Amino acid sequence: MDLTEHLEKVRDKETFLAFVRALQMDKEDESRKEKRNHSNPYSHGWNGWENSTIEGFLESAIAWAEDSDFGNNIEPTDNHWKMFALFLYGGKIYE
C-alpha cells in the first residue's frame, strides 16, 4: 500500500498511526535514495518530499493548514484523525 492509500484510510488512532509509520518509511526510503544519487537541489526529493529538515517540514505543514483552512478547502471532513494526517502530509508536499 502506498502513502496516499494509507492517507485515504485514516479514520481512527490505529489507521492514523499506520499512516504516520508509512510516512516515516517513505522519508527513510527517500533519504536512502538521496545518499545514492542526489536529486535536483531546485526540485523535490525522490519520493516527492519538499522539505528535508524538521523546521522546513513544520513550516510547510503550518502554511498548508493556514492556506487550506486545515484541509477543509480541499477535502472537508469531521474526522480529526484524517485532518491531522492531512496536516502531516502537507508538511511533505507543500512548499
Secondary structure of 12-42 as H, E, C letters? CHHHHHHHHHHHHHHHHHHHHHHHHCCCCCC
* pTM for the model: 0.86
Residue with cell 545518499: 35
For 5, the enclosing helix (H) or strand (E) is: helix 3-8
- Residues 38-65 pLDDT 10s: 766 666 667 778 888 899 999 999 999 9
Residue 34: pLDDT over 70: yes
Residue with cell 516515516: 24
Q: What is the mean pLDDT of residues 14-43?
A: 87
Q: In this structure, what is the dihedral angle of CA atoms 19, 22, 94, 60, given to the nearest 10 degrees?
A: 80
Ranking 12-16, 36-40, 69-73 by mean pLDDT, the lowest is 36-40
Q: What is the mean pLDDT of residues 72-78?
A: 81
Q: Residue 68: what residue type?
A: S
